[in-house]
């Protein structure tokens, strides 16, 4: 297992490096000029424009900029934000915390509820339960987040005035401690429930199909013939065999932990990585975009590694193949 993990990490290094170089070049191909975005449409003296280009290293060739970027990255420097006027690593760290506050509960809730609903739809012999859960999962996946989010804002924030419509904290400020926590939960509810419904729909659909296939296995017939209780068969035999495809989907949701909420954060004004990504594209803030791409690449590699480890934990056959490797 240790050798397998080390080998996967070894493969990940060139992948991350390739992603960094590719994304660095792609950001330079985006139409527009960061200096123009900084000074706006108003005419500026040529010497001022030239001084800005030199300050941010934009007067060098693309390959020179790439070499400087990789050298600084090896030293732990992600650069300086053109638009926000602060170190990229501090800016991304602050926004990452906000996104994790939004998305970690979403990931846990969507995974647990998706597996439970998928199992319920698969094992229940009452057809309307299966049809209802399937319809809900299809609706959760098919309805666009930007539409359902705005409908939710109109209903719960504008019409009934139950929840705040935008942001992460109240502008008027609240006392620290329990009032601040309640205020955060109130702001989380709408974007969190929208994102949970979307991710849960995917998990539930895959879990339903996987449980149905697992229940057709010969081991289920044998376990039933020996007189084992239905609950023991489901959780002791069917669940471990049905979880492999579900873990794959959950791992995919984990890779979207940072950028998968772009639309949610845009609709609800949540100050996370997604909102920072959109504003950085508009302002041509190259260092921030490169920092976000790096964070996404690292999260993707980590999510794939965790998914493979979970495969080995769930299925002994996979674990044995890793040991032999």
Question: What are the tens digits of pLDDT across the range 21-51?
Answer: 887 787 777 666 666 666 666 666 677 667 7
| Residue 316 counted as domain residue | yes
- From CA 32, how far away is CA 115, in angstroms rounded? 45
Mean pLDDT within 206-231: 85
Q: What whole-number distance in Å separates Cα of residue 248 and Cα of residue 202?
A: 11
| 145 assigned to some structural domain | yes
Is residue 162 in some structural domain? Answer: yes
pLDDT category at 266 given cuts 50, 70, 90 is confident
Query: Residue 47: inside a domain, yes or no?
Result: no
- What is the reported pLDDT for 188? 93
Confidence at 105, pLDDT banded by 50, 70, 90: very high
pLDDT score for 43: 65
Q: What is the mean pLDDT of residues 13-28?
A: 79
**HSE-up (13 A, CA, CB side) for residue 310:** 17
How many domains are there within the chain? 1
pTM recorded for the entire structure: 0.77
Q: 61 lies in a domain?
A: no
Confidence (pLDDT) at 216: 83
What percent of the chain has pLDDT above 70?
A: 84
In a domain? residue 25: yes
Q: What is the share, in percent, of the chain residues with pLDDT greater than 90?
A: 3
Rg (CA), the chain: 24
For residues 59 and 1, give the distance between their C-alpha atoms in angstroms, rounded to a whole number. 49
pLDDT for the residue 70: 81
Sorting pLDDT into bands at 50, 70 and 90, what band is 260?
low
The verdict on residue 253 lying in a domain is: yes
pLDDT digits (tens, 9 = 90+) for 84-94: 778 888 888 88
**Residue 15 sits in which domain range?**
2-31+78-324
- Of 162-166, 186-190, 229-233, 309-313, where does the model show the most confidence? 186-190
Q: Is residue 63 part of a domain?
A: no
CATH number at residue 235: 1.10.3720.10
């Amino acid at each position: 297992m240790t050798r397998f993990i080390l080998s996967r990490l070894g493969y990940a290094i060139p992948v991350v490096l390739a992603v960094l170089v590719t994304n660095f070049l792609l950001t330079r191909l985006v139409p527009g000029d960061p200096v123009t975005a900084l000074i706006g449409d108003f005419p500026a003296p040529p010497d001022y424009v030239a001084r800005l280009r030199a300050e941010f290293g934009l007067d060098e060739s693309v390959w020179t900029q790439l070499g400087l970027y990789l050298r600084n990255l090896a030293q732990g420097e992600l650069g300086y934000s053109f638009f926000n006027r602060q170190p990229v690593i501090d800016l991304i760290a602050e926004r990452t915390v906000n996104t994790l506050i939004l998305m970690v509960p979403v990931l846990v809730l969507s995974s647990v509820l998706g597996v439970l609903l998928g199992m319920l739809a698969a094992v229940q012999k009452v057809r309307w339960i299966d049809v209802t859960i399937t319809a809900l999962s299809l609706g959760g996946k098919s309805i666009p987040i930007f539409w359902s989010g705005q409908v939710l804002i109109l209903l719960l924030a504008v019409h009934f005035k139950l929840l705040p419509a935008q942001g992460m904290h109240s502008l008027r400020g609240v006392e620290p401690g329990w009032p601040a926590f309640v205020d955060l939960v109130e702001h989380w509810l709408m974007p969190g429930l929208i994102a949970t419904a979307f991710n849960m729909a995917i998990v539930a659909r895959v879990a339903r199909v996987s449980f149905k296939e697992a229940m057709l296995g010969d081991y289920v017939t044998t376990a039933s013939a020996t007189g084992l209780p239905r609950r023991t068969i489901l959780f002791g035999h069917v669940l471990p065999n049905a979880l492999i495809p579900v873990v794959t989907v959950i791992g995919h949701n984990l890779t979207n932990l940072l950028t998968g909420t772009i639309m949610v954060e845009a609709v609800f004004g949540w100050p996370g990585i997604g909102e920072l990504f959109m504003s950085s594209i508009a302002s041509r803030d190259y260092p921030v975009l490169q920092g976000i791409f790096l964070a996404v690449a690292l999260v993707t590699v980590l999510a794939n590694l965790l998914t493979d480890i979970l495969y080995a934990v769930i299925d002994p056959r996979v674990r044995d193949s890793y040991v032999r490797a």
